[in-house]
Structure 1
């Protein structure tokens, strides 16, 4: 028997330990915030008047290879939840296995896709076995943190927005059982948007709703489905995410405050998604695909109350004033803002072409037909998850190269290492020049991010996923290089004596190196790359994420804790257009903006 009576949903009000309780929550993902800043962000949450932290758990980071688990350092979930408890916050855990979150494949590990028959988010045996193995580990980590054991976790969500997918009527019961059979006895919740509410629930779990506007009588719709149950908006979307080549989405503070005020006046519990978005560091951004594939940007600022770098925005101040009315005691003081600096520009000192870096990759794989990333025999046979893949073959003529729409997601095309064009979802043909004899055709394919929401989730294998044809004949005889740009590869690259200093010989794609000298304690900053094209930036081995000149994002957030006093090593991998310097700024440049409140609701989903 439990020593405590946890969160209950037995009447129109939540009770916690027998007393009425209103959830005033906010989402902050530990995996999107540098660990040294966890405390700062949670203290700011507490000072805003929130009492509950919600977080997803990304399966793809915690089990990067089948059977290999990581709950250390940046992924120390126990430490994160323990810190929330120490600061007086309750926790709602959203363990997935699917999380959406504008995160690659909605947090599902790409090695699942090695099975050509895989059916994600169903009771397909291959998926069930993988989930069981993962939950054996995950629940052993989080079970001691439950309220019944004196921990801060008062509720656990069953999967995520399954009503928008709803492929298998047995699936939600399976996930619910995964939790309960491993000792999770706290209140279970489900979370769906208005349309998904009908299909996403499971017997014995409280339904909650996700929304940004109080249209369609959404709250009443939820109340009608669950009479005499507490009402909760599990995701109140405080802003919105961005995709490359589009506008930066903003949701004005006054518009947001009006809706939040009404939700609270109705006695409804709320969780702000996001309270602080943070950053999709590395290659972790997801993508949209509702007929058109659109990869999401690195920044997950989300126009949230706390900015990407942890600043208290106008939204924060307004919410603090509002939430203070729901507390008997004065709110804690807001922590001081982090110091930021615009460091002096740094100039690139050395470069190494992509072609000269290939011998630092794992041994290339040879295959008659193209092989998609996930099925390459690399990473202990778990395939390649992220980054770039180079496919090379021999051709004996010029003509028309047709991708047959088998490029995922974007390929730079080279003949004898000279750039001849780009293939993607829109451009499916490239003209190859005529010449005598054998030449090497190369395709550098970029996985721009797997879709994280919707039916296209099932078609997210990357690289080259089928035949390419030259003058109507399928190409054969490929040599395939895995360029996932993992820390070991970057270390090997850095230690190479082959870097060149003569910039007249430079041509992209290439790695470029610079040094940032920091006097005194390091501060946060933003890297700006105005003359560059598209690529990735590493600082002291940390992958800050992608940049792309098409915007809207025109910066990369560089957290101070990832710098050190003295010399810092910067490596840029640039695909197409190189500049000779990097700039630094105190503030981000989000590009052109668009007001989400003025967009039609359907365009956001």
Structure 2
């Protein structure tokens, strides 16, 4: 018995020493983070696991570690993991725990931005489109309908994170509550307090929770909250001292943090590719670090908006974000180190040790050459494949959300109510189309209606001719006050003065059949026509590597390779002409390429080109008049 007591007395102090020394907190007297009892400063970089194939997660994280970072910052997009209410997906490229395990293996600490709203130029800022099933829901407020959905999500997500907290033996050192709430007009402190309660309920009261807002007094006033550590964000060229002095009005004590130091910027369709010089980025980074502040560089690698995941801004007009989220970041969209990374690594080495040895080199890129495509048929030829159930019958148009179609395309179909012998305006109210509508009469493409740009076209035809209106969701607004961004025909369509009625609405599941190997048919013809049509061909591969598919002479559409949705192209407007093709979706031998061209395919024979470099800076802006 005496031996057992002695063993117990020895064991307890050892255990207390092991776990007691592992602790991350804030020392408000010393104005610093305390990690294992010592003042600590993080130099971090943002990486979005949801924009990078899981195949490449380790590669990108290793490059970030070798660049000298001691932490990474990640968003968690709610809509990526809960596509339908109560349906959760944490598998494959959505395996959050696997990603976190990789960060731990590589010795990187993690800063989590758990939302529920994240912005990130991601569809609806990470909020699920199905929230809009309740028409009058007030997002990002204390609206009970919204809070019930948030609470359900947090009850799933936060318990997954708790074992990964630094104080529990993991590597998550802090967790953000909401995101840039001071930029949102609601300014609902009760909402922030509700989130604070939920985060503490599931994660414990010893976790470091923080907020992030722009370096403006109004932003910090509505975005910060007592009991939450306030941080600020600003880009290169800003006055770091001035920004942190403003932060001190709202966060008098504790460590200074720039949670989003911008290494570049995003791109919008129809605008120039955004770049920021490596000299400006590196010099402003020096200015921040010399204040003693912690910093997170946004982005360190941007990645890709595969599929339909891009968001959109609304700055007087609707501005959808490109498929590439390259961001002119230190690591390119394809994960390649840039000259900007070299400059940043040099700066970091002045303030803390960086790992010995070089940053891993770029992954191999190959130029596979040209692939000829043949037309399979018009999209409306395959409605039985993409909408196997019956269409929805409705007197007036309904939205995507009404038919539980949250991404992609919906076809609206009705008949001409009478003979229209002279060209007559087919029109909608201002912004009645969200976001682009491709119009055909009796199978003949007539033109398009576009949000903020084109509100009418001229059509003619015979009574009972089909009017086909294919509406494309170009991405929901991710920033600002207009979050209730319903998609589809959100107002009536009129022919002259007559409101069109008696619609058939086809929610189109394109990804399902294509991911299962469609088309399983022989090509219908070599005919190339206008309007939404499918084209397909085969890429032969002898050596596997990353590549880029160029849509140089195509107009606008969507691309799949081996059933994987690469995302949107819009070569007719730019600036992005190529789509990134990661090696993990390719295979030796035959690879199937499927293109949905929405407007006009290239002259016969149409083809695409696989090249070894991206083209992200070729803007072809079209004015409103040229779209009419």
Check if 1:302 corresponds to 2:340.
no
Judge conservation of contact 2:569–2:577 (CA < 8 Å) in 1: yes
Stretch moving more, 241-250 or 163-172: 163-172
Q: 1:61 aligns with which of 77, 80, 91?
A: 80
Q: 1:420 aligns with which of 440, 446, 457?
A: 446
> Secondary structure of the residue that 2:426 maps to in structure 1?
strand
Stretch moving more, 189-198 or 63-72: 189-198
Residues 153-207 of structure 1: per-residue CA shift (max 9 Å, x gap):
0100000000000412211111111211113441001000012112101211111
Counterpart in 1 of 2:568? 546
Q: 2:486 aligns with which of 453, 461, 484?
A: 461
Distance change >3 Å, CA 339–CA 327, structure 1 → 2: same
Unaligned runs of at least 5 residues, structure 1:
377-382, 594-605
Distance change >3 Å, CA 404–CA 156, structure 1 → 2: same
Stretch moving more, 424-433 or 488-497: 488-497
How far did 1:496 drift?
A: 3.4
Q: Distance in 2 between matches of 1:74 and 1:457?
A: 27
Distance change >3 Å, CA 475–CA 148, structure 1 → 2: same
Q: 1:164 aligns with which of 183, 188, 195?
A: 183
Q: Distance in 2 between matches of 1:493 and 1:511?
A: 14
Q: Distance in 1 between matches of 2:490 and 2:462?
A: 30
Counterpart in 1 of 2:226? 203
Counterpart in 1 of 2:548? 526
Counterpart in 2 of 1:139? 158
Q: Distance in 1 between matches of 2:454 and 2:375?
A: 33
Q: 2:456 aligns with which of 419, 422, 429?
A: 429
Q: Distance in 2 between matches of 1:278 and 1:30?
A: 9
Counterpart in 2 of 1:188? 209
Check if 1:155 corresponds to 2:155.
no
Q: Larger Rg: 1 or 2?
A: 2
Judge conservation of contact 1:54–1:94 (CA < 8 Å) in 2: yes
> Secondary structure of the residue that 2:407 maps to in structure 1?
coil
Counterpart in 1 of 2:199? 179
Q: Distance in 2 between matches of 1:154 and 1:506?
A: 56
Judge conservation of contact 1:49–1:331 (CA < 8 Å) in 2: no
Normalising to structure 1: TM-score of the pair? Answer: 0.93
Q: 1:391 aligns with which of 404, 409, 412?
A: 412
Judge conservation of contact 1:468–1:475 (CA < 8 Å) in 2: yes
How far did 1:468 drift?
A: 1.6
Check if 1:452 corresponds to 2:478.
yes
Judge conservation of contact 1:528–1:583 (CA < 8 Å) in 2: yes
Judge conservation of contact 2:444–2:531 (CA < 8 Å) in 1: no
Which residues of 2 match residues 585-596 of structure 1 at below 5 A? 585-592=611-618
Stretch moving more, 24-33 or 499-508: 499-508
Check if 1:439 corresponds to 2:458.
no
Counterpart in 2 of 1:578? 601
Check if 1:402 corresponds to 2:427.
yes
Distance change >3 Å, CA 511–CA 97, structure 1 → 2: same
Judge conservation of contact 2:66–2:355 (CA < 8 Å) in 1: no
How far did 1:461 drift?
A: 0.4
Residues 218-255 of structure 1: per-residue CA shift (max 9 Å, x gap):
12111233223210000001100000001000001011
Distance change >3 Å, CA 464–CA 436, structure 1 → 2: closer
How far did 1:506 drift?
A: 4.9
Judge conservation of contact 1:193–1:210 (CA < 8 Å) in 2: yes
Distance change >3 Å, CA 492–CA 562, structure 1 → 2: closer
Distance change >3 Å, CA 203–CA 225, structure 1 → 2: closer
How far did 1:33 drift?
A: 0.8
Check if 1:129 corresponds to 2:151.
no
Q: Distance in 1 between matches of 2:320 and 2:457?
A: 23
Residues 359-415 of structure 1: per-residue CA shift (max 9 Å, x gap):
112321111110100111xxxxxx111111110111124322221131101111111
> Secondary structure of the residue that 2:189 maps to in structure 1?
coil
Counterpart in 2 of 1:380? none
Counterpart in 1 of 2:513? 489
Distance change >3 Å, CA 199–CA 9, structure 1 → 2: farther
Judge conservation of contact 2:234–2:258 (CA < 8 Å) in 1: yes
Stretch moving more, 51-60 or 423-432: 423-432
Q: Distance in 2 between matches of 1:22 and 1:503?
A: 62
How far did 1:570 drift?
A: 1.0
Poorly superposed stretches of 4+, deviation over 4 Å: none
Distance change >3 Å, CA 327–CA 218, structure 1 → 2: closer
> Secondary structure of the residue that 1:80 maps to in structure 2?
helix
Q: Distance in 2 between matches of 1:543 and 1:114?
A: 26
How far did 1:592 drift?
A: 4.8
Q: Distance in 2 between matches of 1:333 and 1:436?
A: 69
Unaligned runs of at least 5 residues, structure 2:
1-15, 620-628
Judge conservation of contact 2:375–2:528 (CA < 8 Å) in 1: no
Check if 1:103 corresponds to 2:125.
no
> Secondary structure of the residue that 1:250 maps to in structure 2?
coil
> Secondary structure of the residue that 2:150 maps to in structure 1?
helix
Counterpart in 2 of 1:244? 269
Judge conservation of contact 1:385–1:484 (CA < 8 Å) in 2: no
Q: Distance in 2 between matches of 1:40 and 1:203?
A: 39
Q: 1:472 aligns with which of 497, 503, 507?
A: 497
Which residues of 2 match residues 502-521 of structure 1 at below 5 A? 502-504=525-527, 506-520=529-543
> Secondary structure of the residue that 1:251 maps to in structure 2?
coil
Counterpart in 2 of 1:338? 363
Judge conservation of contact 1:46–1:332 (CA < 8 Å) in 2: no
> Secondary structure of the residue that 1:141 maps to in structure 2?
helix
Judge conservation of contact 1:241–1:302 (CA < 8 Å) in 2: yes
Counterpart in 2 of 1:311? 336
How far did 1:139 drift?
A: 1.2
Length, aligned pairs only = 582
Check if 1:231 corresponds to 2:256.
yes
How far did 1:79 drift?
A: 0.7
Judge conservation of contact 1:194–1:218 (CA < 8 Å) in 2: yes
Q: 1:365 aligns with which of 392, 405, 408?
A: 392
Counterpart in 1 of 2:26? 8
Judge conservation of contact 2:71–2:111 (CA < 8 Å) in 1: yes
Judge conservation of contact 2:564–2:585 (CA < 8 Å) in 1: yes
Residues 400-441 of structure 1: per-residue CA shift (max 9 Å, x gap):
2221131101111111121112111221112221x4432111
